[in-house]
Amino acid sequence: MARKVEGTTMTEENQAQVTPMQQIEPQHHADKAPRESLVTVDDVTVKYSGSTAVEGVTFDIATNEITALIGASGCGKSTLLRCINRMNDLIPGAEVTGTINYKGVDLYGEKIDPVQVRKLIGMVFQKPNPFPKSIYDNVAFGPRVLGIKEDLDEIVEKSLRRASLWDEVKNRLNSSALGMSGGQQQRLCIARAIATSPDVILMDEPCSALDPISTGRIEDLMEELKTRYTIVIVTHNMQQAARVSDKTAFFTVNVNEDDKRFGQLVEFDDTEKIFTNPSDQRTEDYVTGKVG
Amino acid sequence: MKSIGASAARNELESRHRDFFERGFMLALIFSLGIGIIALVTLILQVLVEGFPRLNSELLTNFPSGNPEIAGAQSAIMGTIWVIGVTAAFTIPVGIGAAIYLEEYADKERWWNRFIELNLQNLAAVPAIVYGILGLAFIVRGFLGLGQTVLAAGLTLGLLVLPIVIISSREAIKAVPDTIRQGAYALGATRWQTVRRQVLPASIPGIATGTILALSRAIGEAAPLILIGGLTFITFNPESVNSNFTVLPIQIFNWVSRPQDEFRVLAAAAIVVLLVILLAMNALAIFLRNKYQRKY
Ligand SMILES: Nc1ncnc2c1ncn2[C@@H]1O[C@H](COP(=O)(O)OP(=O)(O)OP(=O)(O)O)[C@@H](O)[C@H]1O
Ligand SMILES: [Mg+2]
């Protein structure tokens, strides 16, 4: 299963792979010069206690791009996202097959420590989940866990600035994070993720609990962050995916012979193409709002 | 929807039956609460009135004596403090450790972990006297052979309250939302770092409350300690964990069973001391709970 793919070979393969619409294989269109892929997801299938949640997903995540995962509820977006930083290891009964490479290293390789993976690939959750501690301690938690003791103040300030939260909280760094608004809490969670200097930040519906203004701020923030980080975002908000992302992966729920439901990747392409001229009818129906 | 007139609407909206039941139910609740409170207050008043003549500093400074005029409970008070100190030193680390293991590490699918869980509930319900027998057989004599000492008493009481400490600590750990653990893991924390830096600090108030309540139960126990040989007439304070000892409940038990009325007064006064210690501990537990109450 360990098909090592370099950026260049991938492109050639993709061009040869432009296939009829009804096929489920994702379709890559390399009209722009492709960026280097940082993470490659190759034929990944996830099962929970034996039943398939998502099957045979293949796509690439390019450096300093925002990749959006969209699709109806239950099609396995969160599941797939959690595979990328091995958070699925924490769910009893979850089983991942296929290959996920990060800079060519198999993240599920025998010697790989999931804890190290999560330091490089951070995560922001759907519901803001600040620790019941001070704002400062929230941001400093990651570095402290890494054993960093010096320059913590600097790291905290830098992370809060990058999460465009510094000006709002610089005078109350020692008050509880639980006293912040939902939008501030979510930006704090982003600051917290940044503080460990990850390469990739995974965001699972980061704005679904927020008002439009907070959502707008986080979208702006993502634009800024992508100069330094690679971002993968799950969202139910079509406009959001269209606004912020460079690439979009559209998933759907299939039903197999035994009436079991499982998710599949339908189409993966430049966001522009997905939203204006998708190759698959199901994608078109979804992005134009004809179905769920 | 059919529209209704104003008077019909008023009829619908104003409650009548509801009121009657609501009030009746409320009264029943207040009544049951009242029984508990009245019983407690009567008890406290009674011992206060009865023990009042001997509620003086001599009660705290004097040692037991055959002469009720000069007898005091100092050795019993100090014995209680020593024994509970040992109990706390033993039961807090072991209890919290076991709770952490069961909540954060144990694979709940495994039969032995489920077996332990089931037995904790059972152990918490075992009568104190049985722990006394256990302590006598394995701690005082037999396996550990510690003799009739403070250490043996503290360990016996420790075993007695350990299930309670474990169960209440587990509840406190369970109450920490999973999103906090996930947040920590997602930042690259190991399991131990997650437990040590997030789960434990967040659950300490609950753990402390449960532990203090468990210890205050241990303070009131007489039966298991009588069984393992707590003495009733000790005219010195414990000097180490290897000293012989007596504790307040045993002293009270002894005084109550004396024929002279003066000793009965002494017993009532000692009960007041015991109650004050218990109430102080419970107040501390409530204080901790309120002070650190978290809204996640
Ligand atoms: N922890 C779990 N244990 C068992 N099954 C799970 C678990 N998490 C998800 N699933 C199942 O996996 C499938 C995909 O779920 P997932 O949460 O990944 O979907 P999703 O696309 O993120 O949906 P949503 O848009 O509602 O968040 C669903 O059928 C779900 O029931
Ligand atoms: Mg989801």
B188 contacts A142? CB cut-off 8 A: yes
Instruction: Tell me what pLDDT residue B147 has.
Output: 82
pLDDT digit string (tens) for B143-163?
887 888 889 999 999 999 999
- What's the whole-number mean pLDDT along residues B243-260? 86
Assign A101 a pLDDT band (cuts: 50, 70, 90). very high
In this structure, the residue with its CA closest to atom 12 of ligand 1 is A53
- Taking CB atoms and an 8 Å cutoff, what residues of chain A touch B192? none
Report DSSP letters for B207-265, one per residue. Answer: HHHHHHHHHHHHHH--HHHHHTT--S---S---STTS----HHHHHHHHHTSSSHHHHH
- What's the whole-number mean pLDDT along residues B184-199? 94
Residue B39 structure tokens:
């019983």
pLDDT digit string (tens) for A75-85?
999 999 999 99
Residue A187 structure tokens:
């930006």
Looking at the predicted structure, is the pLDDT value of residue A56 above 60?
A: yes
Average per-residue pLDDT for chain A:
85
**Strand, coil or helix: A200:** strand
Residue A139 structure tokens:
């941001």
Looking at the predicted structure, is the pLDDT value of residue A10 above 60?
A: no
Q: Greater confidence, B69 or A251? A: A251
- What's the whole-number mean pLDDT along residues A117-142? 94
Q: Greater confidence, A65 or B259? A: A65
- Taking CB atoms and an 8 Å cutoff, what residues of chain B touch A131? 180, 183-184, 198
pLDDT digit string (tens) for B56-79?
877 777 777 777 777 778 888 888
A105-106 sheet: strands from edge to edge: A105-106, A94-102, A37-48, A51-62, A261-270, A247-255, A66-71, A230-234, A200-204, A121-124
Average per-residue pLDDT for chain B:
86
Assign B17 a pLDDT band (cuts: 50, 70, 90). low
In DSSP terms, which residues pair with A95 in a beta bridge?
A47
Assign B20 a pLDDT band (cuts: 50, 70, 90). confident
Assign A24 a pLDDT band (cuts: 50, 70, 90). very low
- What's the whole-number mean pLDDT along residues B3-30? 79
pLDDT digit string (tens) for A135-174?
999 999 999 998 888 889 999 999 999 888 999 999 999 9
Please tell me the distance between residue A78's alpha carbon and the centre of ligand 1 in angstroms: 7
Q: Greater confidence, B111 or B15? A: B111
pLDDT digit string (tens) for A32-54?
555 678 999 999 999 999 899 99
A270, exposed or middle or buried, with CB in 10 Å at 0-12, 13-18, 19+?
Answer: buried
B296 contacts A178? CB cut-off 8 A: yes
Rounded CA separation A210/A217 (Å): 10
Looking at the predicted structure, is the pLDDT value of residue B264 above 70?
A: yes
Q: Greater confidence, A30 or B238? A: B238
> Does the C-beta of A70 come closer than 6 Å to ligand 1?
no
Looking at the predicted structure, is the pLDDT value of residue B50 above 90?
A: no
Atom of ligand 1 nearest to the CA of A77: 21
Count other C-beta atoms under 10 Å from residue A189's C-beta: 28
Instruction: Tell me what pLDDT residue B290 has.
Output: 81
Provide the residue type at B140 as one letter: V
How much of chain A, in percent, has pLDDT values that exceed 90? 64
A-B contacts (CB, under 8 Å): 68
A contact test, residue of B107, B182, B187 with most A CBs within 10 A: B187
Pairing mode, strands A261-270 and A247-255 = antiparallel
* CB contact B196 to A (< 8 Å): no
Instruction: Tell me what pLDDT residue B161 has.
Output: 94
- Taking CB atoms and an 8 Å cutoff, what residues of chain B touch A178? 294-296
Q: B266, B178 in Cβ contact below 8 A?
A: no
Instruction: Tell me what pLDDT residue A105 has.
Output: 92
Instruction: Tell me what pLDDT residue A9 has.
Output: 39
Q: A79, A58 in Cβ contact below 8 A?
A: no
> Does the C-beta of A82 come closer than 6 Å to ligand 1?
no
**Strand, coil or helix: A195:** coil
B180 → closest Cβ in A85, A123, A129 = A129
Mutate which of A46, A47, A48, A266 for ligand 1? The one with the most ligand atoms within 8 Å of its CB, which is: A48
DSSP B296: -
Least confident of A19-23, A118-122, B27-31, B201-205: A19-23
Mutate which of A78, A95, A203, A252 for ligand 1? The one with the most ligand atoms within 8 Å of its CB, which is: A78
Q: Residue A103's closest CA among A146, A59, A64, A63?
A: A63
* CB contact B189 to A (< 8 Å): yes
Atom of ligand 1 nearest to the CA of A69: 21
Assign B232 a pLDDT band (cuts: 50, 70, 90). low
* CB contact B188 to A (< 8 Å): yes
B contact test, residue of A83, A88, A141, A201 with most B CBs within 10 A: A141
Instruction: Tell me what pLDDT residue A265 has.
Output: 93
DSSP B64: P
Instruction: Tell me what pLDDT residue B16 has.
Output: 65
Least confident of A16-30, A175-189, B93-107, B158-172: A16-30
For B19: left if phi > 0, alpha if psi spans -120 to 50, otherwise beta; the answer is alpha
Please tell me the distance between residue A260's alpha carbon and the centre of ligand 1 in angstroms: 13
Provide the residue type at B157 as one letter: L
Residue A102 contacts by C-beta under 8 Å, 6 or more apart in sequence? Answer: A38, A39, A117, A120, A121, A199, A200
CA distance readout (Å), B255 to B62, B269, B278: 15, 11, 20
Q: Give percent helix, percent strand, percent coil of chain A, each to the nearest 5.
A: 35, 25, 40
Residue B201 structure tokens:
């600090």
> Does the C-beta of A77 come closer than 6 Å to ligand 1?
yes
Looking at the predicted structure, is the pLDDT value of residue A106 above 90?
A: yes
Looking at the predicted structure, is the pLDDT value of residue A20 above 90?
A: no
Looking at the predicted structure, is the pLDDT value of residue B276 above 80?
A: yes
DSSP A134: B
> Does the C-beta of A141 come closer than 6 Å to ligand 1?
no
Residue A121 structure tokens:
């690939």
* CB contact B246 to A (< 8 Å): no
Q: A281, A21 in Cβ contact below 8 A?
A: yes
> CA dihedral in degrees (B117, B120, B125, B126; nearest 10)?
130
B245, exposed or middle or buried, with CB in 10 Å at 0-12, 13-18, 19+?
Answer: buried
Please tell me the distance between residue A198's alpha carbon and the centre of ligand 1 in angstroms: 25
Q: B172, B289 in Cβ contact below 8 A?
A: no
- What's the whole-number mean pLDDT along residues B274-290? 87
Instruction: Tell me what pLDDT residue A28 has.
Output: 47
Domains of chain A: 3-16+36-287 (3.40.50.300)
Q: Greater confidence, A154 or B4? A: A154
How much of chain B, in percent, has pLDDT values that exceed 90? 33
Nearest CA in chain B to A189: B183
Name the E strands within chain A: 37-48, 51-62, 66-71, 94-102, 105-106, 121-124, 200-204, 230-234, 247-255, 261-270
Instruction: Tell me what pLDDT residue B288 has.
Output: 81
- What's the whole-number mean pLDDT along residues B91-104? 94
